[in-house]
Amino acid sequence: MSQGFDEPVNRRDRNATRWRAVEQATSEDGEPVIPLWIADMEFRTAPVVLEAMQEALTHGIIGYQEWSADFPQLFCRWQADRHHWAISPEWILPCQSVIGALDVIFHTLTQPGDEIIEFSPGFGAFGRVIRQSQRQQVTVPLKENGAEYILDPATLEACITPRSRMLILCNPHNPLGKIWGQDELRQIIAICQRHNLLLLSDDVHQDLHIQGAPYTSITSLSDAIADNAITFTSPCKTFNFSGLPVTNMVIKNPGIRERLRAGLVQRSIHKPDALGMIACEAAYRDGAPWLDALCQYLHGNVLFLQQALHQHTSVRLFNVQGSYLGWLDFRSSGLSQSMLEARLIKKAGVLLESGTQFGDRGEGFMRLNFALPRAELAQAISRIQHSFGHKNA
């Protein structure tokens, strides 16, 4: 059954953040700039989610909302069925957003000046909230290995000091689209245990398995690490309702869980809004068939992207296993980052997310969101081919 992924949806006049960024932007040829930067999809939100929210709106009152009585079991069943991850209902701690929860975690479980470790290139918001919390950001470079990045355990261990308190993992990794393999996850577990690091695993793209080995929750590999870890999950990226932030943390350790519950309540970010809760439950209850179709479509998009770039440009796409984000290597162009960004907008007429938003190891790279109808993706990639083809490299 078609899910309408090929159907274009015009968001230009909807105050969408993606499109607001290019509202007045045109290429040198006068063509409107195509935005492929921010991490939401150009597909309609999953129908089961829209139907559930429409029913709530039709009812006529959007008041204070509680989770359904069976939501904990619903969430646990989703994790077990999709990811073979066995969790207990009491481990679930809902909140609004990952970034808001990180702020609570840093202020509750660490002291100013403590070190928080993350991998680079990595999601820029992690570093921002670390610095704003007056903690020390420590970045560990991942190692390029062909068309992927891998962990260098020795490099990670060398970055750990007596002030190190936490390690942030992103699985699948943003911006790389890397799903961490079990061997690497076990190496991370061993290092965290050896240095008593609390592990924070941002797994909000967990459901978006595109190709290769499937996602594994790191806490499913070790009871010991599960007792010293916080995992972040969310249906928002999966079912395309990022404008209604919903996060469900999984925290086995009751001491950590209750301290964070109190911190979330203190900041009034312990509960998503009513429509977010309704959307979340509908997604996990009935959204699996739509998600299966989405992942199949995204797989087709990434295959198209790989072939188009490989055959007609010198731009290199790193392997994408999870999420709808591609990490593009433009270093062969010889352009500085500012010149690269300008050429993409002015010559190609596309807006990508700058690699430097993901740390200093992002120089020469750009992140591309390929979650859009294939015909629209083809138009954007054709522009990149024209501006970065072999004759222009």
pLDDT digits (tens, 9 = 90+) for 75-121: 999 999 999 999 999 999 999 999 999 999 999 999 999 999 999 99
Q: Where are the beta strands (DSSP E) in the chain?
A: 34-35, 92-95, 115-120, 136-141, 143-145, 148-150, 164-170, 198-202, 229-233, 247-250, 316-317, 325-329, 350-351, 353-354, 365-369
pTM of the model: 0.96
* Percent of the chain residues topping a pLDDT of 90: 97
Residue 393 pLDDT > 60:
no
Q: What is the pLDDT of residue 278?
A: 98
Residue 163 pLDDT > 60:
yes
Question: Are 250 and 233 in contact, with CB atoms under 8 Å apart?
Answer: yes
Mean pLDDT of 337-359: 97
Structure token digits, residue 84: 């073979």
Q: What is the pLDDT of residue 63?
A: 95
Structure token digits, residue 142: 């991942």
Q: Give the pLDDT confidence of 26-60 residue by residue, as tens digits.
A: 999 999 999 999 999 999 999 999 999 999 999 99
Residue 2 pLDDT > 70:
no
CATH number of 51-286: 3.40.640.10
Residue 265 pLDDT > 90:
yes
Structure token digits, residue 223: 């009871």
In the structure, what pLDDT confidence band is assigned to residue 392 with cuts at 50, 70 and 90?
Answer: low
Residue 255 pLDDT > 90:
yes
Q: What is the pLDDT of residue 158?
A: 97
Q: Give the pLDDT confidence of 57-72 residue by residue, as tens digits.
A: 999 999 999 999 999 9
Q: What is the mean pLDDT of the chain?
A: 96
Q: What is the pLDDT of residue 389?
A: 85
Q: What is the pLDDT of residue 178?
A: 98
In the structure, what pLDDT confidence band is assigned to residue 365 with cuts at 50, 70 and 90?
Answer: very high
Helix axes 124-132, 98-109, angle to 10 degrees: 40
Q: Where in the chain is the domain with CATH 3.90.1150.10?
A: 17-46+289-388
Q: Give the pLDDT confidence of 166-223 residue by residue, as tens digits.
A: 999 999 999 999 999 999 999 999 999 999 999 999 999 999 999 999 999 999 999 9
Residue 313 bridge partners (DSSP): 389
Strand, helix or coil for residue 328: strand
Residue 16 CA to residue 259 CA, distance in Å, equals 36
Q: Which one of 3.90.1150.10, 2.120.10.30, 3.40.390.10, 3.40.50.300 gives the CATH number of domain 17-46+289-388? A: 3.90.1150.10
Q: Where in the chain is the domain with CATH 3.40.640.10?
A: 51-286
